[in-house]
Structures are given as C-alpha cells and as structure tokens.
C-alpha cells in the first residue's frame, strides 16, 4: 500500500514502461516528431473546418472556465502542428510562441498564421526536447504552457521541463483510453488472428504523480470521434503505419493481405475510417503551487 503513495516508484514505473507511445514508435523505427508528416494536410483541413473549429472552441472555453485569460497572455504551444490552437489563442488576444518541427506542419502553420493571426505567433522550429529553457529565457516565462496530444510528454522528467516554462498555468492532454480506429479493428485479426487490444494509458501516471507531488489541477475526460473518408491507397498506407507502430511487420505479405481485404470490402475505392476515443485534459495551476511554496 505504501508503494501506491511513493512518487519515486511511480516516476520509475513510467520511465521504464516499455509500452509508452513514444517507446513503441521508436521501437518501430518511427520518429515521434515526424509521425504526422504523411497526414499533415488532412489533419490541417480537419482542424480548421467548421467541426474542427467547434472542437477547439469547446476546449478553449473549458480552459477559460478555469480562470485562464487569453487577452494579452503569453502562451507557449508545444507541438503546435498547423496551429489548431496557436491561431485561436492569437485570435483571442494572446502572444503565442509555437514549437513545431515537422516541415509540412510548419509550412501549414505559417500559412494559417498569415491568414488568421499575422504578427501574433512566433514559430520555433526546434525539438522541445533539445531546447535549453533556461538559456532561452523560458523559465517561468509563459502565462500558459499548452501541450496537446504531443509525444514531448513521455515521463515525469518531460513533465517537469514543461512545467518549468509556466508561470501560471499548464495544460496537458493525453489519451485516456485505447484508441478507437475502425480500420485497425478490421485488419488486425487478418494479420494476427486475434482481436485488437491495447494496454493502460499514460495519463494515469501523470494524474497520480501530480496528486502525490501536491499540484493543484482540474481534469476532464471526454469521448470524441470523427469519421474520415480516404482512398484505398491512403487506407493501406495508414494500416501499414499502424502495424509498424504496434511492432508487427509491414512486409509484402501483410501489405498484400490488407490490400486484398480493402479491395474486396470497399469496391468503390473509398474507405470510411472512424477514429477517436476518450481523452484526458489536465489544467495545472502553477500560481497556486508557487503561493503554497512561499507560505511554507
């Protein structure tokens, strides 16, 4: 029972967990920072269409409901992608520093800034893991540090580095359930002979360590899904990436198995992929933490 309340044990467990998202990607030969390159355009379209804008607004409204104000605030958006949040932050009056290293996403980010928020967003095309936050002057420099579904967060040390940049608030979102992906559910049994299953989510480590270390925070779990229609070739490419991601061979045999299935099942050439899951949103109050420290 004492181990349950021992932060050191939880830190060690997270650090050594072989099934974290980042470790599985690296084991499969996938660079986490470049994992979305192939779907940058589609991701951008989904982020800035009407439904995407509504989804972003719901999250921002929840953050504002916890006391965060974007007007004249300094925001560090780590893993900014094409600006799905950086642009709306700027539209609400924030000064945004957007960290993104994927070339196709940076190109889209630049275009979105020019279109929606010119002069309000500064792009830093450097891996956050390699940035010396002290030397860069980022130590407690931002009113809000925002990290949404980004592989930067992969153990407690990475969380501490992110928290070190925040003066008032830090927002972190992570999956809170195994990913729902209709294509994976369809092709997995063909390749493995068994249903698709995944293990626990890392957000459990995050929430428990925040609790043990005395941080003040609010959390919210939502379930979100979306359906995207892609060509058979795009579906095949995505299926191969998923196989690699989960340690299965993306070889010619499996490629043919999946290609034959897609051809037989989707004769129109279009594949509707439903994906989503439960997602955890955590807003950490650094100003409360700093006040508590001073009182001590």
The gap from C-alpha 247 to its chain's centroid, in whole angstroms, comes to 21
- pLDDT at position 198 is 66
- pLDDT at position 177 is 85
Domain residue spans in the chain?
Answer: 2-177+200-225+278-287+289-293
38 vs 92, more confident: 92
Q: Retrieve residue 98's tokens.
A: 């957007």
Report residue 288's pLDDT band, with 50, 70 and 90 as the boundaries. low
**CATH: 3.30.43.10, 3.40.50.150, 3.50.50.60, 3.40.50.720. Which one for 2-177+200-225+278-287+289-293?**
3.40.50.150
Partners of 78 in the beta sheet?
99, 147
Residues with Cβ within 8 Å of residue 70, at least 6 apart in sequence? 60, 64, 89, 92, 93, 94, 144
What mean pLDDT is predicted for residues 148-175? 97
Report residue 200's pLDDT band, with 50, 70 and 90 as the boundaries. low
CA dist list (Å): 122 to 19, 40, 93, 179, 234: 34, 20, 14, 32, 33
- pLDDT at position 211 is 97
Indicate if the pLDDT at residue 143 is higher than 90.
Answer: yes
- pLDDT at position 289 is 57
Flag the least confident range among 14-18, 32-36, 48-52, 140-144: 32-36
What mean pLDDT is predicted for residues 167-174? 97
Flag the least confident range among 56-60, 168-172, 220-224, 291-295: 291-295
Q: CB of 222 within 8 A of CB of 176?
A: no
CA distance 196 to 98: 36
Tokens 């030397």 belong to 135
Query: Full-prediction pTM beyond 0.85?
Result: yes
Indicate if the pLDDT at residue 243 is higher than 70.
Answer: yes
- pLDDT at position 260 is 96
What mean pLDDT is predicted for residues 50-66? 95
């Amino acid at each position: 029972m004492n181990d349950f309340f021992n932060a050191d044990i939880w830190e060690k467990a997270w650090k050594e967990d072989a099934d974290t998202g980042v470790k599985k990607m690296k084991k499969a030969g996938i660079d986490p920072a470049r994992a979305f390159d192939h779907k940058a355009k589609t991701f951008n379209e989904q982020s800035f269409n009407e439904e995407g804008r509504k989804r972003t607004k719901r999250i921002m409204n929840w953050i504002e409901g916890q006391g965060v104000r974007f007007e004249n605030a300094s925001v560090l958006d780590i893993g900014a992608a094409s600006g799905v949040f950086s642009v709306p932050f700027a539209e609400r009056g924030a000064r945004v520093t957007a960290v993104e290293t994927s070339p196709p996403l940076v190109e889209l980010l630049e275009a979105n800034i020019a279109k929606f928020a010119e002069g309000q967003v500064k792009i830093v095309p450097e891996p956050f893991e390699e940035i010396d936050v002290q030397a860069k002057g980022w130590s407690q420099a931002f009113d809000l540090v925002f990290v949404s579904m980004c592989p930067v967060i992969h153990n407690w040390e990475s969380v501490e580095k992110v928290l070190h940049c925040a003066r008032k608030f830090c927002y972190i979102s992570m999956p809170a359930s195994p990913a729902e992906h209709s294509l994976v559910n369809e092709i997995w049994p063909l390749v493995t002979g068994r249903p698709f299953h995944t293990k626990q989510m890392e957000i459990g480590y995050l929430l428990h360590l925040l609790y043990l270390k005395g941080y003040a925070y609010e959390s919210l779990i939502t379930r979100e899904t979306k359906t995207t229609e892609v060509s058979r070739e795009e579906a095949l490419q995505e299926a191969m990436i998923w196989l690699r991601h989960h340690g299965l061979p993306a070889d010619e045999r499996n490629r043919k198995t999946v290609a034959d299935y897609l051809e037989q099942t989707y004769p129109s050439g279009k594949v509707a992929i439903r994906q989503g899951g439960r997602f955890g949103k955590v807003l950490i109050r650094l100003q409360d933490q700093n006040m508590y420290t001073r009182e001590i």
